[in-house]
C-alpha cells in the first residue's frame, strides 16, 4: 500500500509528456471502439433480420454464424485474422487510411483488429436486437399485417422502430465490454494505451524518474473505470426511462456476461 | 479435410496439453470468482451503509477495468514491486477477481428476486434472520442465478484465452495453437483445432447449464 501511494512512484505522471502520451493512447482505444461499434451495429442488424427471417436456410445460417462467433474468444479471432488475412488486404488498408488519422491507424493490423471486433460484436448485438424485436407483443406485427402492410413494411415502420429502441440500454452496456476489449489489439502490435504504457515503463527518456509498471497500469485502469462507469450509469438511466415509457419488463438477453439483470431493491 | 485430421493427429499432444491448461485455469478462476462474488454480494446486501458502498466500489472497479490491465498489474506490476507471484496465481487471481464482480451482481439480483413478502412471512413465523436466509432466501436465490452464472462461466472460458497471450505466457489452448502454427506455418489448421477446442468447452458448458436449469431453475 505504501508502495502504491508513495508520491515518488507517481512522479512519472507529471514528468515530460508521459500523461499526454498515455491519454492520447486511450483516445485511440475509444476511437477503435466507436468505429467497431458502428460497423457491428450495421452487421448485427442484418444478422438479426436474417435470423428472424422466414427463409429457413437463411435463418439457420445466420444462427450458426452468430453462435460460432459469439462462443469464440475475441482474442482468438483477432490473433487469427492478424496472422491469416492476406497481406494484400492490409496493404489496401494502409494505402487508403487518410493522413490525418492517428498514427496507430496507419498500420494494416488495425484492419485485422477491426474485422475481429466487428465479427464478435455483431454476433452479440444481433442477439440483443433479436431479443428486442421478440420482446414486442405479437399483436404489434399481427395488427400491422392486418392493416395490409407487407412483411417489409411492418418491419420497417412498426417492429424495428419499437424493437430497436428497447435494445439501446443493452447496447450501451455492450459498448463497455467493447471498450475493455480494445486493449486486446495491443497483442497484435497496435500502439494504443497498453503498448504506450509499456513504452512509458521501459523507456529511458526521463532516466531520473522511473515509471513503475504497477502505477502506470493502475492509472490506465482508472481511465477505463472512469469512462465505463459513466457509460454504465447512462445505460441504467436509459433502461429506467425506457421501462417507464413502454411499461415493458426488462429485456433479457441470454448468454451475455454484461447483461446481468439489475437488482430491484424491493 | 484429411489434411486437417492428420494435422490434429500429428500435434495432438500439444493441443491436449493446452486444452487441459485452459480447463484448469477456468476451474480455478471460477472457484475464486464464486468465493469473491459471494463475499461482495453479502457486502452489497448488508444492512450497513458503508459496507454496501465498499461492495459497490469493488463491483464498479473490477467490472469496468479491462482484464488485460489486471493481468499486467498482477504479474508484471507486482513482480517489479518485488512480490514473487507465479503466473498461475496471477492469471487465475486476475480472472477470478474480475469475474467475481459479475458473480456478485448476479447473486445480488438473485437475492432481490425473492419477494419481500416471503422474507416478512418467514420472519413473522418466528424464523431468525439467519434461518430465513438459510432456508428461504438462499435456496430460491441459487435457483434463479443458475442461468446468469452459466453465462459467466462461458465468458470465463473465452476470457481465459487472454491470459495465455498476455505476458503470463501460460501454455493454454490458444498459446499452443500459436506455437504449433509458428512451427509448422499452417496457421489455418492450428487455429481451426483451437477453435474446435473452445467451442467444445463453451458448448459443453451450455449443455450443462441447460440441464441444471431444466432441473432446478425457477422462471420469473
Shortest alpha-carbon distance between residue B133 and chain A (Å)? 16
Name the band, by pLDDT with cuts 50, 70 and 90, for residue A266. Answer: very low
pLDDT band at A225 (very low <50, low <70, confident <90, very high): very high
What nine digits make up the cell of B89? 496465481
Q: At what angle do helices B187-216 and B173-184 cross, to 10 degrees?
A: 160
> What does the pLDDT look like over A158-188, one tens digit per residue?
888 888 888 888 888 899 999 999 999 988 8
User: Which of A83, A179, A260 is closest, CB to CB, to B105?
Assistant: A260
In chain B, how many domains are there? 1
A178 contacts B61 by C-beta, under 8 angstroms = no
Q: Looking at the domain assignment, is residue A8 inside a domain?
A: no
Q: What is the pLDDT of residues A142-152, one digit of tens each?
A: 898 889 888 88
Q: Do B109 and A263 touch (CB under 8 A)?
A: yes
- Cell matching residue A118: 466487428
Assign B151 to helix, strand or coil: helix
For residues A113 and A97, give the distance between their C-alpha atoms in angstroms, rounded to a whole number: 15
| pLDDT tens-place string over residues A75-92 | 999 999 998 888 888 888
Rounded to whole angstroms, the Cα distance separating B36 from B70 reads: 16
Confidence at residue A213, expressed as pLDDT on a 0 to 100 scale:
85
Range of the domain at B201: 2-216
Tell me the chain B residues in contact with residue A75 when contact means C-beta distances shorter than 8 Å: 161-162, 165, 174
Show Cβ contacts of residue B14 under 8 Å, excluding neighbours closer than 6 positions.
Answer: B176, B179, B180
Asked whether the CA dihedral B168, A229, B110, B132 is positive or negative, the reply is positive
User: pLDDT for A193-214, tens place per residue?
Assistant: 998 988 888 866 666 677 788 8
Instruction: Note the pLDDT of residue A75.
Output: 92
CATH code of A89's domain = 1.10.3720.10
Q: What angle do CA B141, B65, A227 make, to 5 degrees?
A: 105
Split into its structural domains, chain A has a count of: 1
The answer to whether residues B56 and B151 touch, using CB atoms and an 8 Å cutoff, is no
Residue B218 is predicted with a pLDDT of 65
pLDDT of A8 strictly over 80: no
H or E element, residue A239? helix A213-246
Question: Does ipTM top 0.90?
Answer: no
Those residues of chain B that have pLDDT short of 50 are: none
Look up the CATH number of the domain holding residue B34: 1.10.3720.10
How many residue pairs from chains A and B have C-beta atoms closer than 8 A? 141
Report yes or no on A1 lying in a domain. no
The predicted pLDDT at position B160 comes to 93
- Which candidate, A81, A50, A100, A95, places its Cα nearest to that of A185? A81
pTM of the model: 0.88
pLDDT in tens, A236-247: 888 888 778 776
The verdict on residue A4 lying in a domain is no
Domain that holds residue A222: 26-246
Are A93 and A108 spatial neighbours (Cβ–Cβ below 8 Å)? Answer: yes
What pLDDT was estimated at residue A265?
43
Mean pLDDT of A111-119: 93
Cell of B23: 480447463
Mean pLDDT of all residues belonging to chain A: 85
Determine the residue of chain B that is closest to A261 in CA distance: B109
CA distance A88 to A81: 13
Residue A257 included in any domain:
no
- Quickly count helices (H) and strands (E) in chain A: 12, 0
Amino acid at each position: 500500500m505504501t508502495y502504491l501511494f508513495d508520491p515518488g512512484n507517481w512522479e512519472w505522471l507529471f514528468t515530460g509528456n508521459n500523461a499526454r502520451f498515455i491519454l492520447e493512447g486511450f483516445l485511440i482505444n475509444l476511437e477503435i471502439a466507436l468505429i467497431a461499434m458502428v460497423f457491428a451495429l450495421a452487421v448485427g442488424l442484418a444478422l438479426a433480420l436474417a435470423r428472424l427471417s422466414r427463409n429457413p436456410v437463411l435463418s439457420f445460417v445466420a444462427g450458426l454464424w452468430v453462435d460460432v462467433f459469439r462462443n469464440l474468444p475475441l482474442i482468438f479471432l483477432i490473433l487469427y485474422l492478424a496472422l491469416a488475412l492476406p497481406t494484400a488486404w492490409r496493404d489496401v488498408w494502409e494505402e487508403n487510411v487518410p493522413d490525418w488519422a492517428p498514427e496507430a491507424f496507419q498500420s494494416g493490423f488495425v484492419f485485422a483488429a477491426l474485422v475481429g471486433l466487428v465479427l464478435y460484436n455483431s454476433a452479440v448485438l444481433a442477439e440483443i436486437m433479436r431479443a428486442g424485436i421478440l420482446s414486442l407483443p405479437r399483436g404489434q406485427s399481427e395488427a400491422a399485417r392486418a392493416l395490409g402492410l407487407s412483411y417489409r413494411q411492418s418491419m420497417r415502420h412498426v417492429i424495428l422502430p419499437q424493437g430497436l429502441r428497447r435494445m439501446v440500454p443493452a447496447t450501451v452496456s455492450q459498448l463497455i465490454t467493447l471498450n475493455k476489449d480494445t486493449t486486446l489489439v495491443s497483442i497484435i502490435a497496435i500502439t494504443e494505451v497498453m503498448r504506450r504504457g509499456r513504452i512509458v515503463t521501459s523507456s529511458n527518456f526521463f532516466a531520473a524518474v522511473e515509471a513503475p509498471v504497477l502505477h502506470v497500469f493502475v492509472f490506465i485502469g482508472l481511465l477505463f473505470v472512469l469512462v465505463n462507469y459513466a457509460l454504465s450509469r447512462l445505460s441504467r438511466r436509459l433502461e429506467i426511462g425506457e421501462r417507464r415509457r413502454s411499461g415493458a419488463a426488462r429485456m433479457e438477453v441470454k448468454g451475455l456476461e454484461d447483461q446481468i439483470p439489475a437488482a430491484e431493491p424491493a | 479435410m484429411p489434411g486437417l485430421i492428420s494435422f490434429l493427429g500429428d500435434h495432438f499432444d500439444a493441443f491436449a496439453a493446452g486444452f487441459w491448461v485452459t480447463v484448469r485455469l477456468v476451474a480455478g478462476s471460477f472457484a475464486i470468482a464464486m468465493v469473491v462474488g459471494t463475499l461482495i454480494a453479502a457486502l452489497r446486501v448488508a444492512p450497513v451503509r458503508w459496507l454496501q458502498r465498499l461492495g459497490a466500489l469493488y463491483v464498479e472497479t473490477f467490472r469496468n477495468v479491462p482484464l488485460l490491465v489486471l493481468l499486467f498489474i498482477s504479474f508484471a506490476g507486482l513482480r517489479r514491486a518485488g512480490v514473487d507471484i507465479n503466473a498461475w496465481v496471477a492469471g487465475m487471481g486476475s480472472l477470478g477477481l474480475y469475474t467475481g464482480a459479475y458473480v456478485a451482481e448476479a447473486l445480488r439480483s438473485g437475492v432481490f428476486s425473492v419477494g419481500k413478502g416471503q422474507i416478512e412471512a418467514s420472519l413473522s413465523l418466528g424464523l431468525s434472520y439467519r434461518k430465513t436466509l438459510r432456508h428461504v432466501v438462499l435456496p430460491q436465490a441459487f435457483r434463479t442465478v443458475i442461468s446468469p452464472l452459466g453465462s459467466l462461466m462461458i465468458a470465463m472460458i473465452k476470457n481465459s484465452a487472454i491470459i495465455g497471450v498476455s505476458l503470463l505466457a501460460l501454455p493454454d489452448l490458444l498459446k499452443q495453437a500459436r506455437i504449433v502454427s509458428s512451427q509448422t506455418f499452417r496457421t489455418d489448421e492450428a487455429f481451426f483445432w483451437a477453435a474446435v477446442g473452445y467451442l467444445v468447452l463453451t458448448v459443453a458448458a451450455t449443455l450443462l447449464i441447460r440441464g441444471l436449469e431444466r432441473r432446478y431453475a425457477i422462471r420469473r
